């Protein structure tokens, strides 16, 4: 018994020494901020999807952490009516949604319920969110998990997460499991394991500081800068907090979890500061509109509060055209001066960046100016007195551009010179329907003045999604090798998405398909789908359709954007292959 007691005491002493050697320093407490911005956090999951606690419990944790606003982003297809803005425990709460796409996850803020499920190709979800008036954010773009990581940078996203706390631990786990040395200067396999072990022991004593100590340089700056050189792209941070940690595997997919890191710990680790154009009034609907304007305008900066808090950052640009703040655009006009004011403590250094290039660094003063020309400028403040020189503050950019040079014209396709009519409004010969065994569809000629329309009436089987699908189809015995697009006039009984598909036939027993989804409204619309825009609809041997092997054109309705049990109608007035 005595030996056991001695062994236990020795073990506890060893643990205490280990914690004392590895525990991160306490965060620096700063004077009250003077910039007028309010702190909050975005990207939070509650028990309405895969989070641990209720919105009321989460808001109470935010209030204890000193936050003023929260944006809930529970997983969904955007068809649920969002909760109205509300004050919970004195914290302004907005209800948004995180949507899964084929190209990663996308957050939609300030959007009404969608008329059909949003999903499928990332570009289509971005288009739908924008059409519905939402503000869309590419979520965790540097996540090691491919299903989560945003990958479609050709889509016109509104914002991007440059920090994401969920990605942070995933990156460390990936590094701890790596079989080769990293090429980007990140910790080696054993270094990552030691860091994670230290974090496990240190977290109960200094949770926010421990999480902040896991932050690594974001790999998204180069990608953001490439886009910001052409257009505005809001930078922000997402907590992506679920308050769950799996004992084995992924907490999102695992029922065996522990309640860590907690909501309050995450809220004390990081915050997004919004500069509002008017003070909060206490009326949730009015204040939500004010907050959303700040989010859309990029009037934000991100602070790692586990390093120092409360933060204060003011960043402006001035020339003969006037003075603007972070998130704004300024036309070129005479000498340009960038002004930075922070409450950074001693030992911290500020850097002014132009895109992904340093313009001016090493500024240890709290108030300074820098001369510059056209560019996309943002400010970063690092705790350079720490071994890891951790990033503490990151502003949104000021965009200084020549309006004429900044005008980006969309690439235009040459007009068609060759065409083959597949439906001319006179007869529906050659058109039919396909459907799964449990659903129903019929094609018919619907009389109109001067001819007929193609009309498909359909009913998708109810119950859980199980591959329900219907399609309006026509054979293409001569293929489409002579054409590069399909043009058609289409409308639906209700707003919906329809997948325009090409299906192979020659030498392909799998009947591979490629598709481009189009939005269909309740009135006639002229639409054109280019074949080089089509992507595989399931397994395929080629990324783009082999036009010489295509033998069928289909207009498909499936579970991607339609709920089981849906009955509706779809009309086509004309269908033409063109080149």
CATH code (residue 557): 2.60.120.430
Q: pLDDT at residue 337 above 60?
A: yes
pLDDT band for 261, please (50, 70, 90 cuts): confident
Task: Note whether 384 and 434 are same-domain residues.
Answer: no
If one counts the domains in the chain, the total is 2
pLDDT (0 to 100) of residue 201: 86
- Which of 509, 510, 530, 505 minimizes the C-alpha distance to 518? 530
Task: Note whether 380 and 511 are same-domain residues.
Answer: no
Tell which of 403, 437, 470 closes a domain. 403
Task: Note whether 452 and 497 are same-domain residues.
Answer: yes
pLDDT (0 to 100) of residue 411: 64
Least confident of 206-215, 372-381, 446-455, 558-567: 206-215
Cβ neighbour number for residue 409 with a 10 Å cutoff: 5
Task: Note whether 517 and 480 are same-domain residues.
Answer: yes
Task: Note whether 385 and 523 are same-domain residues.
Answer: no
- The mean pLDDT value for 537-544 works out to 92
**Are 78 and 99 in contact, with CB atoms under 8 Å apart?**
yes
- Which of 230, 212, 211, 228 minimizes the C-alpha distance to 220? 228
- Which of 517, 295, 304, 322 minimizes the C-alpha distance to 391? 304
Task: Note whether 352 and 434 are same-domain residues.
Answer: no
Task: Note whether 507 and 572 are same-domain residues.
Answer: yes
Tell which of 379, 403, 427 closes a domain. 403
Distances (CA, A) of 192 to 52, 81, 205: 27, 43, 20
d(CA 35, CA 327): 15
pLDDT (0 to 100) of residue 384: 72
Domain hosting 330: range is 312-403
Task: Note whether 478 and 431 are same-domain residues.
Answer: yes
- Which of 72, 117, 133 minimizes the C-alpha distance to 98? 72
Task: Note whether 425 and 560 are same-domain residues.
Answer: yes
CA 222 to chain CA centroid, Å, is: 17
Task: Note whether 487 and 547 are same-domain residues.
Answer: yes
Tell which of 403, 429, 458 closes a domain. 403
d(CA 354, CA 372): 9
Count of residues making up the chain: 579
Q: pLDDT at residue 396 above 60?
A: yes
Task: Note whether 572 and 428 are same-domain residues.
Answer: yes
Q: pLDDT at residue 255 above 60?
A: no
pLDDT band for 58, please (50, 70, 90 cuts): very high
pLDDT (0 to 100) of residue 62: 97
Q: Is residue 74 part of a domain?
A: no
pLDDT (0 to 100) of residue 127: 98
pTM of the model as a whole = 0.92
d(CA 317, CA 339): 6
- The mean pLDDT value for 456-467 works out to 96
């Amino acid at each position: 018994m005595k030996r056991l007691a001695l062994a236990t005491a020795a073990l506890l002493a060893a643990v205490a020494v280990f914690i004392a050697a590895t525990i991160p320093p306490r965060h620096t407490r700063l004077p009250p901020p003077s910039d007028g911005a309010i702190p909050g956090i975005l990207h939070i999951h509650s028990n309405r999807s895969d989070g641990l606690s209720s919105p009321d419990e989460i808001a109470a944790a935010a209030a204890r952490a000193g936050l003023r606003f929260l944006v809930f982003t529970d997983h969904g297809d955007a068809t649920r009516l969002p909760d109205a803005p509300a004050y919970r425990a004195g914290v302004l709460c907005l209800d948004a949604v995180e949507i899964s796409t084929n190209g990663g996850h996308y957050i939609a803020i300030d959007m009404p319920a969608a008329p059909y499920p949003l999903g499928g190709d990332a570009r289509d979800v971005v288009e739908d969110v924008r059409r519905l008036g939402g503000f869309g954010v590419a979520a965790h773009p540097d996540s090691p998990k491919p299903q989560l990581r945003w990958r479609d940078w050709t889509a016109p996203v509104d914002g991007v997460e440059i920090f994401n706390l969920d990605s942070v631990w995933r990156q460390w786990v990936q590094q701890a499991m790596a079989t080769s040395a990293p090429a980007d200067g990140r910790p080696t396999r054993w270094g990552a394991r030691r860091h994670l072990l230290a974090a496990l022991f240190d977290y109960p004593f200094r949770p926010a500081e421990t999480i902040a100590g896991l932050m690594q340089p974001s790999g998204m700056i180069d990608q953001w800068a490439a886009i910001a050189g052409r257009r505005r792209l809001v930078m922000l941070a997402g907590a992506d907090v679920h308050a769950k940690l799996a004992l084995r595997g992924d907490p999102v997919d695992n029922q065996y979890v522990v309640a860590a890191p907690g909501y309050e710990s995450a809220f004390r680790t990081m915050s997004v500061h919004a500069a509002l154009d008017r003070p909060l009034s206490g009326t949730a609907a009015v204040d939500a509109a004010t907050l959303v304007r700040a989010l859309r305008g990029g009037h934000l900066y991100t602070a790692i509060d586990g390093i120092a808090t409360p933060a204060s950052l003011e960043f402006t640009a001035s020339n003969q055209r006037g003075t603007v703040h972070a998130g704004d655009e300024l036309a070129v006009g005479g000498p340009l001066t960038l002004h930075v004011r922070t409450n950074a403590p001693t030992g911290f250094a500020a850097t002014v960046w132009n895109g992904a290039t340093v313009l001016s660094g090493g500024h240890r003063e709290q108030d300074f100016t820098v001369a510059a020309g056209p560019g996309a400028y943002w400010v970063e403040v690092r705790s350079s007195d720490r071994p890891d020189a951790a990033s503490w503050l990151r502003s949104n950019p000021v965009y200084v551009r020549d309006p004429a040079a900044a005008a980006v014209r969309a690439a235009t396709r040459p007009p068609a010179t060759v065409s083959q009519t597949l439906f001319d409004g006179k007869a529906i010969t050659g058109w039919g329907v396909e459907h799964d065994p449990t659903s129903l569809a019929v094609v018919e000629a619907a009389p109109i003045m001067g001819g007929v329309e193609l009309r498909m009436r359909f009913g998708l089987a109810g119950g859980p999604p199980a591959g329900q699908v219907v399609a309006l189809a026509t054979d293409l015995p001569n293929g489409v090798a002579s054409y590069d697009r399909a043009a058609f006039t289409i409308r639906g009984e209700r707003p919906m998405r329809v997948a325009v598909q090409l299906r192979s036939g020659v030498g392909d027993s799998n009947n591979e398909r490629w598709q481009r989804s189009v939005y269909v409204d309740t009135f006639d619309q002229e639409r054109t789908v280019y074949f080089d825009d089509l992507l595989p609809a399931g397994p395929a041997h080629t990324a783009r359709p082999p036009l010489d092997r295509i033998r069928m054109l289909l207009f498909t309705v499936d579970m991607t954007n339609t709920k089981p049990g849906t009955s509706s109608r779809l009309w086509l007035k004309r269908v033409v292959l063109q080149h």
